[in-house]
Structure 1
């Protein structure tokens, strides 16, 4: 099966599919790694809403994708940044998403993002404003029986004057949580509004404040997801966590070696890249659970170039690559995103995502993928 892409000089070049779709194998939750896929949402392209208005979601397709993830044995990190939280998905839409996922896949392992995104950071004046915003979302999610991922707060980053303010706000937010939560340290490469989080621009100082939050509230913390795209920083924090607190890798660049671990420990996973990589992730985790570390790496290592491309700078637009692959693979019948985010990457990005996805076995129906890629090329006049 062949297709023609524009090359670096703009001239068309032939490309032939070469990959074999990866084997489907379910991952058992009984293994000692906990693995979440942060899941995307499918927009409703027929809505009359402007892209910058209230989120219009195709609920049937969005829920079908969650059944797909659950069927592979993966947990679901719901209403996170992969679902365009704060970049097209507002709090009202996020809570409806959380409710529907709870009803649709009640047996799934699901944790849900609780943040302060209904509070405009420019309207935040005091720490109490942030406390109230966290409390509202925590209470609403727990009211429907949901577990919490405590997301970083743009409002807190704006009003906090130093580390002590983070300690105080997190202490009060965690006190309202009825079960241990996953904290989320999200770097400013994912969200520039979070620059200086934990009250400092220096990683060493941020690390100490984060660790203080965990140690002071250890009974309330299941684990922490760190998304800094720096494996050394993750490993440093992982080795200093209190006993029983999990490290969930959010490193979409170095996930194979972090999940495999070393002689001093390993990371669990809560990854946006495990949305488009879900079949490979489940298969690789099944191999690791069987003791086949070499097979685990053979499955996941070839996906890293694709992940690094999808999450390249500006990293906050990685969702475009995620949804592009969902469209190519038939999980939705269009490539229209909330907030018009399908337009946030150039054509060469899409053609290279197509190539790399094919080469690591992540195009499950080559004929369909080629037909859809040709539709996209036609929009660009190719």
Structure 2
């Protein structure tokens, strides 16, 4: 099993949409997939589940329709990330483990919850205490990792996709420390470049602090992540072109992304302008309302969903692009895993 956090500390770049569609495409390519919603906004969860399912999962009975149509995907055995860490938030114990919510064959979800935002202060207070080996603080900081590992083990996941919010706060620090790799959705604009310049040094600081200061103090009784957070690369999310933002403005920022990514995220000179660009996805804004109404990925839309005439051609292009993206990401994951094996075989000398 290998995990990917999809992250950019600049919001509005299509991160959750990318996570949702990659999860479905990995599943279609024959992989067992676990999606984890660690964004307190819980947008990924609302993309996967119906409103009545959400009301049941979040224990909001007043939110149920008079005659709810449930599909057996949410039951008493299921919980959210917030309910998993609730004993820690209340000071009453350690994490609780629940069965992941089954979305479809070979695709599961660890649902998010708006109540997760209350965990921010607890994680923030625990971070400096981890430096001294405080076990309660270490259990708090590793809570997400242990929830993910338990869920992935239950469903025998091949790939875990972790959706996180657009900030550099304590929740995201714990979420990213739990991830083996990081995939960054970017828009070709000034804000994404500024986000990269902030993100890269922060990831390196978190990685170094965790690996050199905290990990040596973690007792063997507490499963802890290696904090690798290996950058897989970035995906360019094309915007809708407006008359007040011509193509030249888009290109202006696009050509700067490889250098900024290499400098800020990799801390090394750029040698190959395309080496970390995994894909460029066109804007599928016209398909999004249809996909939302049909409760399915854009590349699965049929004529019965309103994808008629030329729109169906657009759906086919969308499917081809996401399949190519998924295959590119899987190739990068295989390279990361192969590199880890080589490192173990040589005693970490590579």
Note whether the superposition's TM-score is higher than 0.5. no
Q: TM-score, normalised by structure 2?
A: 0.37
Report the TM-score, using the length of structure 1 for normalisation: 0.35
